[in-house]
């Protein structure tokens, strides 16, 4: 059977690579790579190996996870890229064709794979307690070798994690090195069950709690403070009967209420308190902290889901402007008798993929870097994310905006401190630029305190890397399990 990728989203710069790569010694075409940086910049790229047999395959979300890493040492950068050998990938490789059907719909699969994990491991890579995981929110995590990118296999923390799905956005508390994570649809596809876990710095599960969400929906990220965990239940709904009827797995409901579920850290499921607010869709958490009474949590929210390919529940049309995410600060008063939260816009332009200096995760913080979707007054030439911005959530420093160039896309910015004990926000921003005309990509190293200064270094790839969501830096000491906290080396 001939191999052909039918969808227009899978053409030109975004055509699947389907190639595993080893390239030692990337060319540094400008500047110098800081010698203090020792570690890896890990990006999971969706990269479909076998063409879908269903029509509505979703670019990126539905594709096989391809683990890629820029390894930094002594001013040199090596590159490696390997498919994550999920149970799904292994089964399809053996068959030489796709066996899994539509996104998040097991009823569309080839009967030969019934009961096998559908996970594609294509969202984020996490290093904790000396292990590296490739993660997708609909399935168990996959353990990988941090240095060879070989797949080790599904990991369940020694049997302690029974949730059938684990988030791709856990948080690490830098005070303790604890890993805070959860799974939604934790009892199976389209269930309301949410499981919440904490692992200690050595990776042993020390807490587990279960509760039911008010309705089934995508819960992509969480907010974690020193004393609380906040679960955003926003109505990108997901119903078993829809997937049974082969309708889209997710639909946006403009009428359903928004609930933020607040659980004390290491609390039990029956301690959850729900706070309500205006109808909107959660994107990603920026940072969150509490002062004992108030919870402050910064997030991106759009009027409806950012994912335009998920229809409204009633089939009604919507404005593209309503998919644009904006950064807002949520405030929850834990001493109030009420059941509402308040919110305030923090940044004027539409933005996504916000990242902080994660040495300040769960703590009062200032520094943010993110991608922008639109900058009024600047013409957009091409598509996707085209800008990186830095800002201070407390307004102490002016925001800066870096434009990637015409017909260039730019990836999620990753902040890396200059040294392990550098002040907050002092260091570098790593980001991958796709040069669509030239059909190749570059890794940019920008000065986080002035992203408009000439780049610290530009590292060229002699090929393209498809656009993706997330990229995470882990220092060599974090990869070796010597620390769980963001560092330079
Ligand atoms: C997201 C990404 C996914 C997914 C669900 O960015 C949510 C959000 C790349 O896959 O399956
Ligand atoms: Fe994400």
- pLDDT, tens digit, 9 for 90 and up, residues 114-140: 999 999 999 999 999 999 999 999 999
Looking at the domain assignment, is residue 2 inside a domain? no
Range 285-324 burial, b when 16+ CB lie within 10 A, else e: bbbbbbeeeebbbbbbbbbbbbbeebbebeeeeeeeebbb
Q: What is the CATH number of the domain that holds 22?
A: 2.130.10.10
Which atom of ligand 1 has the smallest separation from the CA of 103?
11
Dihedral pair phi/psi, residue 14, rounded to 5°: -100, 15
Looking at the domain assignment, is residue 221 inside a domain? yes
Looking at the domain assignment, is residue 425 inside a domain? yes
Reported as a pLDDT band with limits 50, 70 and 90, residue 6 is confident
Ligand 1 site, residue 171, Cβ cutoff 6 A: no
Residue-range definition of the domain harbouring residue 333: 10-478
- pLDDT, tens digit, 9 for 90 and up, residues 442-469: 999 999 999 999 999 999 999 999 999 9
Which atom of ligand 1 has the smallest separation from the CA of 123?
9
Q: Please indicate if the annotation marks 436 as binding a ligand.
A: no
Looking at the domain assignment, is residue 486 inside a domain? no
Would you say how long the chain is, in residues? 489
Partners of residue 68 on adjacent β-strands: 43, 81
How far, in Å, from the CA of 284 to the mean position of ligand 2?
A: 6
How far, in Å, from the CA of 217 to the mean position of ligand 1?
A: 13
Looking at the domain assignment, is residue 489 inside a domain? no
Q: What percent of the chain stands above pLDDT 70?
A: 100
Average pLDDT, the chain: 97
How far apart, in whole angstroms, are the C-alpha atoms of residue 188 and residue 195? 11
Cα distances from 205 to residues 119, 158, 196, 485, in angstroms, run 22, 9, 11, 18
The residue contributing the CA closest to ligand 1 atom 8 is 220
Ligand 1 site, residue 123, Cβ cutoff 6 A: yes
Ligand 1 site, residue 300, Cβ cutoff 6 A: no
Q: What is the mean pLDDT of residues 256-283?
A: 98
- pLDDT, tens digit, 9 for 90 and up, residues 409-448: 999 999 999 999 999 999 999 999 999 999 999 999 999 9
How far apart, in whole angstroms, are the C-alpha atoms of residue 43 and residue 41? 7
Q: What is the mean pLDDT of residues 338-353?
A: 97
Q: What is the mean pLDDT of residues 309-335?
A: 97
Q: Please indicate if the annotation marks 220 as binding a ligand.
A: yes
- pTM, to two decimals: 0.98
- pLDDT, tens digit, 9 for 90 and up, residues 7-36: 777 889 999 999 999 999 999 999 999 999
Looking at the domain assignment, is residue 3 inside a domain? no
Looking at the domain assignment, is residue 72 inside a domain? yes
Please tell me the total count of domains within the chain: 1
Which ligand number lies closest to the CA of residue 219?
1
Residue 1: what pLDDT? 61
- pLDDT, tens digit, 9 for 90 and up, residues 222-265: 999 999 999 999 999 999 999 999 999 999 999 999 999 999 99
Reported as a pLDDT band with limits 50, 70 and 90, residue 49 is very high
The residue contributing the CA closest to ligand 1 atom 11 is 61
How far apart, in whole angstroms, are the C-alpha atoms of residue 89 and residue 86? 5
Looking at the domain assignment, is residue 298 inside a domain? yes
Ligand 1 site, residue 45, Cβ cutoff 6 A: no
């Amino acid at each position: 059977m001939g191999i052909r990728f039918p969808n227009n989203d899978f053409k030109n710069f975004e055509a699947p690579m389907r190639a595993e790569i080893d390239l030692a010694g990337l060319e540094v075409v400008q500047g110098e790579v800081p010698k203090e940086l020792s570690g890896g910049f890990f990006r999971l790229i969706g990269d479909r190996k076998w063409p879908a047999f269903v029509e509505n395959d979703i670019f990126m979300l539905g594709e096989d996870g391809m683990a890629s890493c820029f390894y930094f040492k002594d001013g040199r950068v090596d590159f490696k890229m390997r498919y994550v050998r999920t149970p799904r990938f292994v089964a399809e490789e053996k068959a030489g064709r796709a066996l899994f059907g539509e996104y998040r719909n097991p009823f569309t699969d080839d009967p030969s794979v019934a009961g096998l994990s559908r996970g594609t491991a294509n969202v984020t890579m996490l290093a904790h307690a000396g292990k590296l995981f490739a993660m997708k929110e609909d399935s168990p995590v996959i353990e990988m070798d941090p240095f060879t990118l070989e797949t080790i296999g599904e990991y369940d923390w020694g049997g302690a994690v029974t949730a059938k799905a684990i988030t791709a956005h856990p948080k690490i508390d830098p005070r303790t090195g604890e890993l805070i994570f959860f799974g939604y649809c934790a009892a199976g596809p389209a269930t309301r069950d949410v499981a919440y876990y904490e692992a200690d710095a050595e990776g042993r599960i020390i807490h587990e709690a279960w509760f039911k969400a008010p309705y089934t929906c995508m819960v992509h990220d969480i907010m974690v403070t020193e004393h609380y965990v906040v679960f955003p239940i926003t109505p990108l709904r997901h119903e078993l009967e829809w997937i049974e009827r082969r309708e889209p797995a997710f639909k946006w409901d403009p009428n359903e209420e928004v609930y933020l579920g607040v659980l004390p850290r290491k609390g039990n499921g029956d301690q959850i308190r729900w706070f309500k607010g205006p109808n909107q869709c959660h994107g990603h958490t920026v940072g969150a902290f509490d002062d004992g009474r108030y919870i402050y949590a910064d997030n991106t929210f759009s009027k409806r889901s950012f994912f335009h390919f998920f229809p409204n529940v009633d089939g009604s049309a919507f404005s593209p402007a309503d998919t644009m995410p904006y950064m807002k600060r949520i405030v929850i008063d834990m001493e109030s008798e009420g059941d509402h939260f308040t919110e305030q816009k923090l940044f004027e332009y539409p933005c996504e993929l916000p990242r902080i200096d994660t040495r300040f995760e769960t703590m009062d913080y200032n520094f943010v870097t993110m991608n922008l979707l639109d900058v009024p007054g600047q013409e957009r030439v091409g598509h996707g994310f085209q800008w990186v911005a830095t800002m201070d959530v407390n307004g102490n420093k002016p925001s800066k905006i870096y434009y990637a160039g015409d017909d260039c896309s730019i990836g999620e910015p990753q902040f890396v401190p200059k040294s392990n004990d550098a002040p907050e926000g002092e260091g570098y921003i790593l980001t991958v630029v796709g040069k669509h005309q030239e059909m190749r990509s570059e890794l940019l190293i920008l000065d986080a305190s002035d992203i408009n200064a000439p780049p610290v270094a530009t590292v060229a790839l002699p090929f393209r890397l498809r656009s993706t969501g997330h990229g995470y830096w882990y220092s060599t000491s974090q990869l070796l399990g010597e620390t769980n906290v963001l560092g330079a080396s």
